[in-house]
Structure 1
Amino acid sequence: MPWMVETYDRPGTAALRLEIRPAHLDYLEANRHLLLACGAKLDDEGGAASGGLYLLALETRQEAEAFIEADPFFRAGLFERVFFTRWRKAYLDGRNTLGED
């Protein structure tokens, strides 16, 4: 069963986020096989990011934690908080996926 990981950036780290972003995107690309979905959480105008949401195709919390701890954003100290929650996939891309896993 997948994991949902929600991250919250530390205040005042917008410049750090931009600096580390290329390495973060390389990390995501290298691990794309584990990503059901992921992306930044944006402000109402769709500009400034303040954290992210990851839906990971991993079986254990330990695997989800290891994934996030290896992310360049985490390693650079960008995150103030990280929450891990089991996630039951019901609909994905407008398609009912119940019973597939």
Structure 2
Amino acid sequence: MIWAIYCTDVPESRPLRDEHRLAHRAYLKLYAERIFFSGPLWDDACYDQIGSLFLIDLNGRPEAEAFLAEEPYTVNGVFASIRVTPMTKGHFSAGLSGDKRERPAAV
């Protein structure tokens, strides 16, 4: 089952996020084969990251909670709130994914 995990950051979290980014990326590599999609959420100006979105194949809510319990941004207080919900794949357009970019072009 795919789980949608929508996380919003604490205000002014850029320094905290930056401090734990390498650990966050290393942790996600452990789940690379199970991540359908993941990425940062941005403010409307595409200037600051305001959260993270994970679409990940996990075996139930307990496994989703275990994933989050060890996730470095969770452990280190980057996330102010987290919403976890099961989902199924509907429409998917691989062509919209584009190249991986660290930061979108500012609006």
* TM-score, normalised by the number of residues in structure 2: 0.82
Deviation at 1:94, TM superposition (A): 4.6
Post-superposition CA distance 1:58-100 (Å, at most 9, x none): 12011111111111111101111100111111123359xxxxx
Residues 1-101 of structure 1 correspond to what in structure 2 (within 5 A)? Answer: 1-94=1-94
Aligned residues: 95
The whole-number CA distance in structure 2 between the counterparts of 1:51 and 1:73 is: 10
Q: Which runs of 5+ in 2 are unaligned?
A: 96-107
% identical equivalent positions: 32
| Large movers: runs of 4+ above 6 Å | none
Post-superposition CA distance 1:17-43 (Å, at most 9, x none): 011011101111121112000000011
Q: Over aligned residues, Cα RMSD in angstroms?
A: 1.5
The whole-number CA distance in structure 1 between the counterparts of 2:94 and 2:14 is: 33
Q: Which runs of 5+ in 1 are unaligned?
A: 96-101
Three-state SS of the structure 2 residue aligned to 1:32 is coil
